[in-house]
Amino acid sequence: MQTIKPIKPVGELTVEIVREINAVSKALGLELLLVGAQAKVILLENIHGLNPGRATGDIDFAFAVESWDQFNQIKQSLIATGKFRELPKVKQRLLYQSSLIEHGFVVDIIPFGKMQDDNNMIAWPPELDVVISVSGYQEALESALLVELNANLTIKVVSLAGLAVLKIFAWSERGTVTENKDAIDLLTLLRTYHEAGNADRIYEVLEPEVLESLDYNPELMGAWLLGYDAAAIAYKSTIERMTELIESKKENLILQMAKSLTGNENALNEAEALLKSFTNGLRN
């Protein structure tokens, strides 16, 4: 796997946290993947020099694990470093203490693997009261990028296509929230994908009639390519679930994406066109 070197230095706090998490995952011999909005920042801003959209106040990691015991071992190993503390009410969340900031920094650790059911859902034992979808995580791991955060630290980071998949499933769980960060992040991915190293690929992948139907609009072409790339990494069942989610909740998703296009009179139309283009690429 080729290692990617960012053109802009990754934030010191991010590097510090990744180093701690990476050390524990290596000691336990587990696969680790950086996901979430911090992955978006690294991919768009640090690697491609683009505007990553909204700032994020947390960092998310996913672990491929065999059992809940193994996941608990990760959690306890992190707490044992003395730099992480548990939040009992949010079972996948830890607070990281750093000399770089006064307050604790939120770190989410998400397990996936053999504990998920046929619908790719996991429920935290023993109460089984916290249930989340981990659809797309295995594909995200398989298609991850190896990124060099500094001279002595590399980590697997979800690709932009993998992140789009994860954002759609995350949004579907939290999509009733009016101001939804996952919808905003998805819009950012749709609008910037053409600039994220894909300028030439657009014309290599999209057929002339597709380019023409999109009026050669860079953002719409990029959104179509993002859908195409998402379909290329996702399992058939994941693509079917994604398509079903988008279709069943389309109006709500478009509305929430459009809300971040403040001051744009055509915000709804633009959000709808981007989502349609993505979906068409996904189905191609």
Please give the full DSSP string across 15-47, using - where no structure is assigned.
Answer: HHHHHHHHHHHHHHT-EEEEEHHHHHHIIIIII
Confidence of residue 70 (pLDDT cuts 50, 70, 90): very high
Residues 132 and 189 occupy one common structural domain = no
Domain that residue 247 falls in: 167-283
Q: What is the pTM of this model?
A: 0.94
CATH of the domain at 113: 3.30.460.10
Residues 27 and 50 occupy one common structural domain = yes
Residues 56 and 137 occupy one common structural domain = yes
Tokens 């009733």 belong to 176
Averaged pLDDT, 161-170: 96
Q: Catalogue the E-assigned strands of the chain.
A: 3-4, 31-35, 58-65, 84-86, 93-96, 105-113, 121-123, 131-133, 145-150, 153-157
Residues 141 and 189 occupy one common structural domain = no
Residues 67 and 176 occupy one common structural domain = no
pLDDT at 225: 98
For residue 87, the surrounding DSSP H or E stretch is none
Cβ atoms 35, 166 nearer than 8 A = yes
pLDDT at 278: 98
Confidence of residue 179 (pLDDT cuts 50, 70, 90): low
Residues 140 and 182 occupy one common structural domain = no
pLDDT at 34: 98
* Contacts for 3 with CB less than 8 Å, ≥ 6 apart: 146, 147, 148, 154
89 residue type, one letter: K
Q: How many domains is the chain built from?
A: 2
Query: How high does pLDDT run on average in the chain?
Result: 93
- Which of these three, 158, 193, 223, is where a domain ends? 158
137 residue type, one letter: Y
In angstroms, what is the C-alpha Rg of the chain?
19
